[in-house]
Amino acid sequence: MPLKSNVSRHMNHVHVHIRVAMAHLSARMRWSPIAVAIALAFAQSATVAAPTEAWRVIGQQGLVRFVVVPVEKAVDQAAYEEQIANFCDPERTCFLNFYTNSTSAAPTVPLSDAIANEATATYRRSMKNGVQVFLWSCRLKVPGHECF
């Protein structure tokens, strides 16, 4: 599924939650309809500014997509979570391998050694088996996490 439709679907989902919360607050706190409208408009404008640029998918073999991570995001768990949400439809199997490319090697599949040697993480979600796993590369030495 294209990134744009995933982001749109996510934003629609966020807006529904905001509307329900605002209706609940309005009923409990006796806010005026104008105050609710202003609060809702402010909340929507704040959520629209949130999406970040998608990381680059440089290829795919079978179900596994190869994604290049900006070097400065290599150990940023929240950044991976956001990208996984962008790349993976929540109702489908999704396999992602993440790499940095500090040498600016040509992105090819099969991966060049320069990129393959810079693995950062893997993400696997199997709808068939009901399993979801995120693992860091041991080369990053992320404390307190299993690694490959």
- The answer to whether position 94 is within a domain reads yes
17 and 79 together in one domain: no
Tokens of 67: 């994604």
- The answer to whether position 146 is within a domain reads no
Q: Which amino acid does the sequence have at 6? A: N
Number of domains in the chain: 2
- Reduced 3-state DSSP string for 75-113: CCHHHHHHHHHHHCCCCCCEEEEEECCCCCCCCCCCCCH
Q: Which residues contact 43 (CB under 8 A, 6 or more apart)?
A: 18, 22
Cβ atoms of 3 and 86 within 8 Å: the answer is: yes
- The answer to whether position 69 is within a domain reads yes
Q: What is the pLDDT of residues 87-123, one digit of tens each?
A: 999 999 999 999 999 999 999 999 999 999 999 999 9
20 and 62 together in one domain: no
68 and 109 together in one domain: yes
61 and 44 together in one domain: no
Higher pLDDT, 22 or 54: 54
Confidence tier at 9 by pLDDT (50, 70, 90): very low
pLDDT at 50 over 80: no
Mean of the per-residue pLDDT values of the chain: 80
Of 34-38, 45-49, 122-126, give the range with the top mean pLDDT: 122-126
- Is the entire prediction scored with pTM above 0.85? no
Q: Domain range spanning residue 108?
A: 56-140
- Cα separation, 10 vs 4, whole angstroms: 10
Confidence tier at 16 by pLDDT (50, 70, 90): very low
- The answer to whether position 82 is within a domain reads yes
96 and 128 together in one domain: yes
84 and 102 together in one domain: yes
Quote the distance between the C-alpha of residue 6 and its chain's center: 10
- The answer to whether position 145 is within a domain reads no
Confidence tier at 52 by pLDDT (50, 70, 90): confident
- The answer to whether position 109 is within a domain reads yes
91 and 126 together in one domain: yes
Q: Which residues contact 119 (CB under 8 A, 6 or more apart)?
A: 97, 98, 99, 137, 139, 148
Q: Which amino acid does the sequence have at 106? A: A
